Structure 1
């Protein structure tokens, strides 16, 4: 499954993305380190496990996708890999919700690529999958990421204290939320209206 709007695309991550993914993530290591999830120290008496390889990561993500719990995408711009977006925590039943996480190459940040990617993913979740609620949790200090969701009309719902282990410690996160009823016209339509004539 591939989603696209102009020069921006989302497609499933694959093993052959390894070289491009490592190049982009490696070049952005210092820029992304403050926002990347880390594994907390193991309990006393237990050793930390090895860091997964790229192929192990892809196998895990694709297995979760096959089980219907996740949609792991790479973000592309004009065909080149420029980031990653994952729809995770997909829950059905009485909740019908998911969360979205993402990162982007600093070299192309601020061009509307990530808001377009989030809009594509949100429309797919609401319109195709039939989910009802999307959450995006962001560290309060991450102003660029907060601007992405605020542009799209996600509303701030509250603070989750010491929510995720990021950059070596448990960090607070702001919760941004959107439900299907809040965007009857579709997220992409809303985003297009905000950016008339702009290259997406």
Structure 2
């Protein structure tokens, strides 16, 4: 099995490449959840290159990164309905074999175990198909929902990064969590289920 494109499935949850045809569902979810997501959304700092202006540009950029092997942008579906996104980015090969994982979820699906399972599926894919050694997740200290995801998965906190990412219009502190393949030899899904 090759690392990308990939389609992952567990129960009612399916992860697949983000595609142009997701535009209406993606936009609807983002608009309905603007207050829910805005405090955690990355923003471009002053003077930085602008982010993609359209959904098509976003998908095109993510597909290019996926072709280069530097990102895996997954759409999250629950029972066939678009529910959010999990993206592994900043993939480094060579001696590091590392990637950063980020995610967002439509509030309608929160509290149902969707995101912990989706993140577990992606980590397993990164370790056992893509050959990565370490996955890191950066979370704002105030983001209790995301903190619950890493707690459910048993990821260990490895550090604190002051002013780590530009989020919601300012440089924000983040707590750093990580897992290596040696820490879950049977997979993250198995760890989540135990």
Q: TM-score, normalised by structure 2?
A: 0.95
**Structure 2, unaligned stretches of length 5 or more?**
1-5
Determine whether 1:115 maps to 2:116.
Answer: yes
**Structure 1, unaligned stretches of length 5 or more?**
194-200
The separation in 2 between residues aligned to 1:22 and 1:106, in whole angstroms, is: 14
The separation in 2 between residues aligned to 1:167 and 1:123, in whole angstroms, is: 30
- Superposed CA deviations along residues 117-137 of structure 1, whole A, max 9, x for unmatched, are 000000000011111000000
Deviation at 1:50, TM superposition (A): 7.4
Q: 1:104/1:156 Cα in 2 relative to 1: closer, same or farther (>3 Å)?
A: same
* Of 6, 10, 33, the match for 2:11: 6
Structure-2 residue corresponding to 1:129:
130
Q: 1:125/1:41 Cα in 2 relative to 1: closer, same or farther (>3 Å)?
A: same
The separation in 2 between residues aligned to 1:88 and 1:40, in whole angstroms, is: 19
- Bigger Rg over Cα: 1
Q: Which runs of 4+ in 1 moved over 2 A?
A: 48-51
- Superposed CA deviations along residues 66-98 of structure 1, whole A, max 9, x for unmatched, are 000000011110010000110111111110000
Determine whether 1:36 maps to 2:37.
Answer: no
Give RMSD over aligned pairs. 1.2
Structure-1 residue corresponding to 2:54:
53
